[in-house]
Amino acid sequence: MTGLFVPPGQGDDTSAAALQITFKVTGDRSRHTTVYETVVAPGFDVGAHLHHNLEECFYILDGEIEVFAFDPVEADGQHWSGWESADGRRPVRAGAGSCVFVPPGCPHAFRNNADTPARLFQTASPAPFHELYLKAMSEALATNPNISPEELARLREAHDIHQLTPLKYPG
């Protein structure tokens, strides 16, 4: 049995809209967790969503994102930045060193409102489900950069991503 060492700048690169993703550990190496680094472009908003079977962890390496991970009292369906939980939690600005854990079934989202990219270290468990989605989305956007919101929603739903607000990315 051998472990895996991935040097800086190495991994399986893909991109999806305004996300540059470098997979460090994928489902072909781990039954448990997909590990990847993500560069989030300014203006990107993943949209509020939830997963029934997937848990995620986000660790901000550089930059800043706005993020939430809670059940909102009222979800308007347009934008999540004004949402609030029953105990008063609201979306927060998360900078370098911040960590966000999202259990299955928990609504969550992140966006980059800054003028500079944000860099995240992410995990998704179990492997390989989220990596399959990210690769499918990357391929779909490469094939059709003007993919309709409905097509994108269908792709996400097929990968256990249940949208509450739309994904938005800079053109």
- Is residue 171 pLDDT above 70, yes or no? no
Per the CB < 8 A criterion, the answer to whether 21 and 15 are in contact is: yes
- The tally of domains found in the chain comes to 1
User: Which residues neighbour 143 within 8 Å (Cβ) at sequence distance 6 or greater?
Assistant: none
Task: Tell me the mean pLDDT in the region 98-115.
Answer: 97
Residues forming beta bridges with residue 14, ordered by sequence position: 21
pLDDT-derived band at 17 (thresholds 50, 70, 90) equals low
Q: Is 10 a domain residue?
A: no
Q: What is the pLDDT of residues 31-55, one digit of tens each?
A: 999 999 999 999 999 999 999 999 9
> Is 100 within a domain?
yes
Q: How confident is the model at residue 162, as a pLDDT?
A: 95
Q: Is residue 6 part of a domain?
A: no
| Residue 142, domain CATH | 2.60.120.10
- Domain span holding position 96: 15-163
If you average pLDDT over every residue of the chain, what do you get?
A: 93
Rounded CA separation 66/91 (Å):
7
**Average pLDDT estimate for 121-135:** 95
- pTM score, two decimals? 0.92
